[in-house]
Structure 1
Amino acid sequence: MPLEVYLKAARNATHVTNASGDVVFVGIDDKSISEVGSWPWKRSTQARLIEQASKAGAKSIHLDIVYDGPSTRSEDAKFSEALKQSGRVVLADRHLLGTWGNFKQPETRPLPQFRKHARTASISTVYDFGGIIWNTSLSGEIDGKEVPTFAASLADIRGVPNRQFWIDYSINPESIPFLPAADLLNGRFAAGSFTGKHLVIGLDADQLGDRFWIPGWGKMAGANVQILAAETLKRGMPSSLGAAPGMILAFLAALVATLATRPRRIAPLALALAFLILLAGPLVLEHFYLSAEVVPGLLLVSIVSGRLSYLRYKSRARVHEQTGLPNFAALRTSGKIDRALVLAKIHNHAEISSSLSEAEQQDAYRQVVARLSAGDRNDLHQGDDGTFAWTVANGAPIGNHLEALHAMFRSPVQVAGRQIDVALTFGVELGVSRTLPNRIGSAVLAADEAWSEGLRWKLHDPARQEEVNWRVSLLGELDQAIDQGEVWLAYQPQLDIKSGRIIGAEALARWTHPLKGPISPSEFVAAAETNGRIGKLTDFVLDRAISSGAAINRRRIDFQVAVNLSARLLIDRELYARIETMLSAHGLPPSRLTLELTETASLQDADSGLASLCALRDLGVRIAIDDYGTGLSTLDYLKKIPASEIKIDQSFVKSMRVNRSDLIMVQSTIALAHSLGRSVVAEGVEDQQCLDELSQMGCDVAQGFAIGRPMGVRELVQRLQIRTARRAA
């Protein structure tokens, strides 16, 4: 109802018209009360109103005031005489009319002595929850007789069968001619202004009540409603079609939208058209004085539109935009997750997406889909990262089929005159008892492994699932292990070959897992570096190593501590400050710390990385190139890195006695390093013979099992003290 009211008021505002001027409202307003006195006035005063209106030539005088009770005898006599002399007065009565619930307006009639000299007309009305009178009638029954309403009387309608009609509130009530009652009493009006016109005399002051809401105009006197109803009848007889036409239209639109063969195009068009007709249609109908309730129809259209939009959203959420194929969300509800899962992965998907326009991408993937669908396959699903999946019956010969599919991709796809190579492998997952997301992840992993191993397809091995789970949780557990003291440092001694003295040690991170036991450093250190999580581990190793090195040097033992540094950390602007703070906090001279830069790791930002190394060198920290010979071994690299030390990788040292090439590599590296003014550390020295050969070559420092295995700091201190005592003896 409220929405219907607002829509009707909005429509009225689009075609406002003025009243005819045939009906004049004489209002007992605040001005009149101020001049004449408080209401009710004496009936002799009201009789003067009738006399003045009659003299002015009014066609009729409608008193919108109920005279159902007596006043004084003399006053009533004067009023009765005025009615008799005028002969054109219409008095107000009320017929029985229901409103809300069981409430009935009481039937009221003017006094019999007044009815003898005047006609009567009903002012009974029904108003809604907002105090708005939308409809009225042509007549009402009083004492068994049909009595016209004020509206019918003012419109000069007689003898017409009674019917309800709606009031046209597009007529501007402010255009109704108005005269204060005091002005009528005192003759303050233009001559001839009332000739041949109907007058309505009624209350028009807030303090007197009898006020109603007029849609679009605000609260006004009840007489205005009666006059607007009469103005409506002067223009025609309004009829109401009710809610049925709107509901029928909405139902037909809903039927078309839900049963259309092409719902994506037809449904929005049908529903939008129905919505527009329901909004604009009443404007056309009201031009012919027909009205219709449209909110029920609008509600039905809105519900159907919302439901179809939701279903379309769910459908689009399960369809890939490029190809229109169902996506992996649709696969979850396909009811086929108890079958073997096959996944195809395009490994150069990013390159294809970045080099082709959207239309070209669609063309390329249509060709991919056509090849994957060979053999009348119609259950293909597409992911967002160049993956496609489908299911096959358990026990089906998958291998031969995948080999044949892979062969189809040896020839490129043709897009806009270009040949686009599609690098694709397949992963197969048979673990039907697992959830679909887990199975898809396993199939992707199998496809990746097939790619890295040079295979066309690979079956996911369930036995490796525990290893996969461990790799996923490794980094998170490593952070906790550092905080909980599970990570500790081992120190591998370094021997000065010429003096035969232990001059330092390399700090090596070790992790003892409470359940898995010792974790290989090659596993957790590499994972941390690859995934950008090496910072916390490096800070931990640096702090512990610097602390241990400072403690050993305080025992008057000249001792160098070496720590591995990932090239990835050189772009960390806070690295220099953290190292300087650690050295100062533990009291270790910077010259006693060696940072070993892994030679196999390239500098991500060459300028920034070299600047960081130079700053550390200027601080006094020694820089060493670690694992020399296994990666970026170029003269330009050696020239740029401000290193004072080169460490030959153990793979060359261990095999130099059986492989002449490795021997030459070790010899040339020592000679090259010395020519550049840098010392040489040989890793992997496992026996005395190897140590002797390195001594003959002029190597400076040796590190390996022949010197000492990695040990805890206490064991290292004890060994250093024993060697110092022997030298003293």
Structure 2
Amino acid sequence: MPAPGNAGAAASTPGRRVPGRYRRGLTLAGAVAFAVILAVSGLGDGAEHTLASLRMAVGQVPASGRVAIVEIDAESLRALPRWPWPRRYYAAAVDRLAAAGAEAIAFDVDVSAASTAADDRIFATALHAAGGAVILPTFRQAGSHDSGRWIDSLPLPAFRRSSFLAAVNIFPDPDGAVRAYPRGVRIDGSARPSIAVMLVGGGGGDQRSFPIDYAIDPDTIPRISFIDLVSGRIDPATLRGKRVLIGATAIELGDRYAVPRHGIVPGVLIQALAAETLMRHGVPVSPGAVPAMLLALLVLIATSNRGRRMRAIVWVAAIVGLIAGAGMLHARGIDVEIVPALGLLLAAAAGRFAFTLLDELEQRRFVDRESGLPNRAALERAAPAYPDTVVTIARLDRFNEIAAALGGPGGAHIIAEIAGRIVRVLETPVYRIEPGVIGWLARPLDGDDAQHGHFAGLLAVIGQTLEVAGTRIDIRPTFGVAQPSDGAIDAQVAGALMAAQRARAKAAPWGRFMADDGQQERRQMALLGEFSEALASGAIWVAYQPKFGLAENRVIGAEALVRWRHPERGPIPPDDFIPLIETEGRARELTCHVLDHALADLSAWLPGRPDLVVAVNLSAMLLQEAGLKDLVGDALARHGVPPANLTLELTESAIIANAADAACRLAELRELGVKLSIDDYGTGQSTLSYLRQVPASELKIDKCFVRCIVDNPHDRLLVRSTIDLAHALDMTVVAEGVEDAACLDALRLIGCDVIQGWHTGKPMPADEFAATIGCTSSRLAA
């Protein structure tokens, strides 16, 4: 049978995956786009700031000690309570600092407005005496909230003649934190250098900003209280050669800003940290995000064809390297943005992970986890590509029992081994349809003979003994072939499964699903759906076939037989619905229904015929239930029927199939006092030891042996030997299928005890049976 695929597909998932090179291209393009968005939109600024803060915390360094702050602090304001202070105090500070040998003196205090003429004159004289060592502040500010006008503030002309001017403006980021410092600010038409730039000897009109190095510990910057300075309580030697900033640190004077790592700090401290930054690094260089992005891109390109493990190691190393490298560059005054580069690597990793996850999800959806074979969903997806094929399946007999006995992965090993054998023979992908079922697509063969020969050859290969975990296993498959159809593939799968199931029931090696099978299946499904309603409405009812005692020469009992009178289809044969009910696990409902009705009728007949015995067929499924004794006992008690008046019939095949459970259940029923009967004797696999072990009091010989005993000496001998054997075991013998007087006489002659058949009475409703035995059914009359 030609194969639609190749053997390698047996352990892979048929799919429509994106090819690897396209995956790599899509991942790289998406990652680059994400990195560019981070770089140009500012979305990565928060992460960049966080990393910068971490770098600064790890690489914290002390200040140089060359910049000192004279604080206008709370102690100074208490000592000099009048604010604004008279400028003679500033003059005194300049004189003290100049005398101590300070290299430069910078004021971060507004001196743009006139005070008293005397104080302004004293301050101007002090500035002149300092010989150009003083830097005074200039700044610009908004005129009003919505005016759009700016006001530039400069020191008084008398102060400018003996001092340098520098900008003190500080510009927070949108989130309110101050991270960068301007080299200069355009004020009054001129580009003024910032005070920190001027303090360290810089100049020029460059208005670009540089990042402040908050790795410098602000607590290590020397700080002197203004009142201690002007009161002469400071050793002048501590100020010699220092660059001094005079500014407010008292909370009530404002001028405070948020900064990374240190929270809210005075503006003069930011000026000092900016000066320390310049002294430590010179003007820091900020090349932006491009260099790091290019490096990350090279890493991605270099590892695109590497294995997953190697790629992960290199990418993690690259991320760690970027973070560590940024820290080392920062220590050298180079602040590179790395978040877009990290985003590039992480986005690429996320893209790779997404494709891997999709593969795993596809694996879970289309591959059987236990055996590694493609599953039913994979078959249904692959089938449309092969329209000239049909679904063929192999159902492994007793698979569940064997798998349970082996335990662990034993069942999966069996499936994988048999699938491998099929692949080697047919060279086609094999799929696991159900736990004990595998299937494949094959072109249909012409005629049953060709199909039979094909499966015979396949069975010779598959049916060879397997060895799993040291255990040799002989497992046989039953094949099912779907009918070619343009319909959905799941319908073909269902048809092939049904064909195999029916073939197994007939002990045939294979079966073919036909259109009529589908109609029959739908009819059975409809019956199953109507089952509960039929029980409730009385459409399922109980008929009684008389059992005639040859010694008594009268009816001594009856067998209760279930019947279904369908409102549309008419009478439905028991063989059409009883196996269906049992297969679907609803045998208990049916048995309870029949038992309840039979005992109710029997309780009405017993007053007139206390010797009457009614037999009820017991489903083999109930032999597995531990509560069977209670079920029967409760029913007897509910209707007031003595246990001796009830016989439970079981087929010998049902008893043998459930030998362990059956022995326990039958012993319990005998303890209850009910009689047990072996039905259809001779059609199973009974042995003498089996008959001796079963606690039955009655043996029913199947009709296939009874019908021909008049004309067939061989059958007559078999029946007679069975009767003798049963009598030797103290069992009553019932012959089924007696249809004429000659058969009755023959059975009487060879010692049969009871007969049952159309000759003595067909199955009939309860009221007719009551009339036959001369009883009135009080239950029916009521």
Shorter-normalised TM-score: what interval? 0.7 to 0.9
Counterpart selection for 1:340 from 389, 396, 399: 389
- Asked if residue 4 in structure 1 is aligned to residue 36 in structure 2, the reply is no
Does the alignment pair 1:372 with 2:421? no
Q: Secondary structure at the match of 1:539?
A: helix
1:327 CA drift (Å): 8.4
Among 259, 263, 283, which residue is 1:214 paired with?
259
Correspondence for 1:582 among 628, 635, 638: 635
Question: CA 1:71–1:315 in 2, change beyond 3 Å: closer, same or farther?
Answer: same
Specify the alignment match of 1:711 in structure 2: 764
Report the Cα distance in structure 1 between the residues aligned to 2:712 and 2:448, rounded to whole angstroms: 47
Find out whether 1:682 has 2:735 as its counterpart: yes
Change (3 A) 1:26 1:597: farther
> Taking structure 1 as reference, are residues 331 and 592 closer, same or farther at Cα in structure 2, changes over 3 Å only?
closer
Indicate how the Cα distance of structure 1 residues 679 and 443 shifts in structure 2: closer, same or farther if over 3 A, else same: closer
What letter matches 1:582 in structure 2? Answer: A
- Residue 20 (structure 1) aligned with residue 64 (structure 2): yes
Look up the equivalent residue of 2:192 and give its one-letter code.
Answer: V
- Give the AA of the match of 2:766: V
Tell me, in whole angstroms, the C-alpha distance in 1 between the residues paired with 2:345 and 2:224.
49
- Residue 336 of structure 1: how far off its partner (Å): 1.7
Does the 8 A contact of 1:328 with 1:383 survive in 2? no
The 8 Å contact of residues 140 and 153 in structure 2, kept in 1 or not, is answered as yes
Q: Match of 1:631?
A: 684
1:353-388 per-residue CA deviation (whole Å, 9 max, x = no partner) reads 978899999899667545433xxx8xx464476746
Whether 2:640 is the aligned partner of 1:595: answer no
- Show CA shifts across 1:198-218 (max 9, x none): 333444455654444433443
Q: Distance in 2 between matches of 1:248 and 1:345?
A: 58
Report 1 or 2 for greater relative contact order, CA contacts < 8 Å, sequence distance ≥ 6: 2
Cross-structure match for 1:150: 195
Cα distance in 1 for partners of 2:726, 2:242 equals 122
Question: How far is 1:390 from its partner?
Answer: 4.5
Quick one: which amino acid aligns to residue 508 of structure 1?
Answer: L
- Spell out, residue by residue over 1:471-510, the C-alpha distance to the aligned partner (whole angstroms, 9 max, x if none): 5676555455445654333333333333244343333333
Equivalences for 1:164-183 in 2 at 5 Å? 164-179=209-224
Contact persistence 2:618–2:650 (CA under 8 A) = yes
Could you give the per-residue CA deviations for residues 141-178 of structure 1, whole angstroms, max 9, x where no partner exists?
22233322233234433358554322333334444444
Structure 1, unpaired ranges of 5+: none
CA distance in structure 2 between the partners assigned to 1:597 and 1:486 by the alignment: 25
Aligned to 1:487: 540
> Structure 1 residues 469 and 554, CA, compared in 2 at 3 Å: closer, same or farther?
same
State the distance in 2 between where 1:74 and 1:342 align: 111
Report percent identity of matched pairs: 34
Q: Secondary structure at the match of 1:601?
A: helix
Q: Equivalent residue of 2:239, what SS?
A: coil
**Could you tell me whether the CA contact under 8 Å between 2:391 and 2:492 is conserved in 1?**
no
In the TM superposition, what is the alpha-carbon distance from 1:708 to its structure 2 partner? 2.5
Please report how far the alpha carbon of residue 541 of structure 1 lies from its aligned counterpart in structure 2 after TM superposition: 2.8
Q: 1:242 aligns with which of 285, 288, 294?
A: 288
Q: Is the 8 A contact 2:709 2:746 kept in 1?
A: no
Map of 2:697 onto structure 1: 644
Summarize the Cα distance change of 1:334–1:357 in structure 2 as closer, same or farther, 3 Å threshold: closer
Between 351-360 and 654-663, report the one with greater CA deviation: 351-360
Structure 2 unaligned segments of length 5 or more: list them: 1-44
Distance 1:356 1:603, change over 3 A: closer
On the 8 A contact 2:623/2:661 being kept in 1, the answer is: yes
Query: Partner residue of 2:706?
Result: 653
Q: Does 1:437 align with 2:482?
A: no
Distance 1:494 1:163, change over 3 A: same
CA distance in 1, matches of 2:455, 2:678: 48
Task: Give the C-alpha shift of residue 435 in structure 1.
Answer: 2.0
Asked whether 1:231 is paired with 2:276, we answer yes
Question: Deviation of residue 601 (structure 1)?
Answer: 1.6
Quick check: 536-545 or 548-557, which moved more?
548-557
What SS does the aligned partner of 2:385 have? coil
Deviation at 1:434, TM superposition (A): 1.5
Q: TM-score, length-normalised on structure 1?
A: 0.79
2:107 equivalent in structure 1: 63
What secondary structure, in the 3-state scheme, does the structure 2 residue paired with 1:165 have?
Answer: strand
SS in 2 for 1:199: strand
What amino acid sits opposite 1:566 in the alignment? S
Give the direction of change, closer, same or farther, for the CA distance of 1:673–1:403 in structure 2 (3 Å limit).
Answer: closer
Answer whether contact 2:605 2:775 (CA < 8 A) is retained.
Answer: no
Matched, 1:135 2:180: yes
CA distance in 2, matches of 1:177, 1:346: 89
Question: How much has 1:600 moved relative to structure 2?
Answer: 1.1
> Is this contact kept in 2: 1:257–1:267, CA < 8 A?
yes
Aligned residue in 2 for 1:291: 335
Give the match for residue 671 of structure 2: 618
Q: Given the superposition, is the C-alpha separation of residues 565 and 463 from structure 1 closer, same or farther in structure 2, using an over 3 Å criterion?
A: closer
Residue 108 to residue 690, structure 1, CA distance change in 2 (3 Å): farther
**Do 1:406 and 1:425's aligned partners in 2 also have CA atoms closer than 8 Å?**
no
Q: Give the CA deviation at 1:54.
A: 5.0
> What's the RMSD between the two structures over aligned residues?
4.9
1:600 aligned counterpart, secondary structure: helix
- Tell me the alpha carbon deviations over residues 703-727 of structure 1, each in whole angstroms, 9 at most, x when there is no partner: 33233322333333343446999xx
Deviates more, 1:342-351 or 1:678-687: 342-351
Contact (CA 8 Å) 2:608, 2:775: kept in 1 or not?
no
CA distance in structure 1 between the aligned counterparts of 2:538 and 2:659, rounded to whole angstroms: 35
Paired amino acid for 2:183? L
Pairing partner for 1:122 from 156, 159, 167? 167
Instruction: After TM superposition, give the deviation of residue 579 of structure 1 in Å.
Output: 3.3
Separation in 2, partners of 1:670, 1:363:
50
SS in 2 for 1:674: helix
Structure 2 residue 741 is the aligned partner of structure 1 residue 695: no
Please tell me whether the aligned partners of residues 624 and 662 of structure 2 are also in contact (alpha carbons under 8 angstroms).
yes
Structure 2 vs 1, CA of residues 408 and 524 (structure 1 numbering), >3 Å: closer, same or farther?
Answer: closer
Distance 1:659 1:38 in 2: 140
Q: Is the 8 A contact 1:339 1:432 kept in 2?
A: no
The corresponding residue for 2:13 is none
The separation in 2 between residues aligned to 1:31 and 1:517, in whole angstroms, is 111
1:138: Cα distance to partner?
2.0
Per-residue deviation, residues 519-576 of structure 1 (Å, max 9, x unmatched): 4433433234345442333333333333333343366655433322234434433333
Structure 2 equivalent of residue 90 of structure 1: 135
How far does the alpha carbon of each residue in 1:671-725 deviate from its partner, in whole angstroms, 9 at most, with x for none?
Answer: 3333333333333333333333333444333333233322333333343446999
In structure 1, C-alpha distance between the alignment counterparts of 2:349 and 2:106, rounded to whole Å: 52
**Structure 1 pair 141/582, CA: closer, same or farther in 2 (3 Å)?**
same
Contact kept, 8 Å, 1:576 with 1:615, in 2: the verdict is yes
Using the alignment, how far apart are the partners of 1:20 and 1:197 within structure 2? Answer: 10
Quote the offset at 1:328 in angstroms: 5.1
Rounded Cα–Cα distance in structure 2 between residues aligned with 1:360 and 1:674: 48
Judged with a 3 Å threshold, the aligned counterparts in structure 2 of structure 1 residues 296 and 76 are, in CA distance, closer, same or farther, namely: same
Distance in 2 between residues matched to 1:35 and 1:719, nearest whole Å: 131
* Deviation of the 1:23 alpha carbon: 2.6
Q: Counterparts of 1:113 and 1:12 in 2: how far apart (Å)?
A: 43
- Residue identity opposite 1:492 in structure 2: Q
User: Is 2:393–2:439's contact at 8 Å kept on the other side of the alignment?
Assistant: yes
1:573 corresponds to: 626
Structure 2 CA distance for aligned equivalents of residues 141 and 215 of structure 1: 27
- With structure 2 as the length reference, what TM-score do the two structures score? 0.75
1:603-649 deviations in Å (ceiling 9; x for gaps): 78766654443333333333333333333523443344333333333
**What's the counterpart of residue 23 of structure 2?**
none
- Counterpart among 304, 313, 329 of residue 378 in structure 2: 329
CA distance in 2, matches of 1:612, 1:442: 37
